[in-house]
Each structure stands twice: as structure tokens, then as C-alpha cells.
């Protein structure tokens, strides 16, 4: 459980920044070079590369270098960690609201 929690924390920390969320959004359309990605953000390339390294360390993207071009690709499987967590939260809260509804609509409360 601790390992799952740490992986989830890494993903949420990586997604906490709007620049990194923008990179993930763009990579959802397909792979792109670091240069192409960086061109859409108002920062220097070294600053942008820190965001790329954070996303890569969290496992959200993969990078590959061919010559002088580094290409980034979204790791969709890693986003499943967030999906799983959100599904569990939905289940918990739906159970709670169902119990509350039964309590409110029950004619003879205990």
C-alpha cells in the first residue's frame, strides 16, 4: 500500500503544476519534441526541461533521443493510477450518500 501511495503522490505532485498539465494535455494528441513543446510556454528551455524531468520521474511521460532531438510521449498506463484512485473515491462517496439517502427517506428511524 505504501508503494501505491508513493506512486500516486508522485503523479499528483507532477500534475499540480499548470505547465506540466499543459504538457500532458498536448502529449495526449501524440508525441512531440521537447523544442515543440517548449515553444508553447513562456519560459526558457532550461526551465522547461525541469518540468519534463519531473513528468518523466513520475512516469507520466517517456523521452527518447534521436540525434539532437528529444521526443516526449505520454505514458497512458501511468495515468491509470489516478483513474484507480478516483474510482475508489467515487465508490466511497457514493456509498456514503446512499446511506444518507436511506437515513433521510426511512420512515421509522432507529
pLDDT tens digit sequence for 23-77: 999 999 999 999 999 999 999 999 999 999 999 999 999 999 999 999 999 999 8
Place of cell 495526449: 28
| Domains located in the chain, CATH noted | 2-75 (1.10.10.10)
Q: Is the pLDDT of residue 95 over 60?
A: yes
Q: Residue 82 contacts by C-beta under 8 Å, 6 or more apart in sequence?
A: 8, 11, 12, 15
Cα–Cα nearest to 79, from 11, 10, 4: 11
pTM: 0.75
Torsion from C-alpha of 17, 74, 63, 39, nearest 10 degrees? -60
Complete edge-to-edge strand list for the sheet that includes strand 61-66? 32-33, 69-74, 61-66
The average pLDDT across 72-87 equals 89
d(CA 58, CA 15): 9
Amino acid at each position: 500500500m505504501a508503494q501505491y501511495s508513493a506512486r500516486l503522490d508522485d503523479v499528483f505532485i507532477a500534475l499540480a503544476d499548470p505547465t506540466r498539465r499543459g504538457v500532458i494535455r498536448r502529449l495526449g494528441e501524440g508525441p512531440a519534441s521537447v523544442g515543440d513543446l517548449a515553444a508553447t510556454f513562456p519560459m526558457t528551455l532550461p526551465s522547461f526541461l525541469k518540468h519534463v524531468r519531473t513528468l518523466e520521474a513520475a512516469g507520466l511521460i517517456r523521452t527518447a533521443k534521436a540525434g539532437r532531438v528529444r521526443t516526449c510521449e505520454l505514458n497512458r498506463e501511468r495515468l491509470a493510477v489516478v483513474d484507480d484512485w478516483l474510482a475508489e473515491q467515487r465508490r466511497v462517496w457514493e456509498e456514503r450518500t446512499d446511506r444518507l439517502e436511506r437515513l433521510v427517506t426511512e420512515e421509522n428511524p432507529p
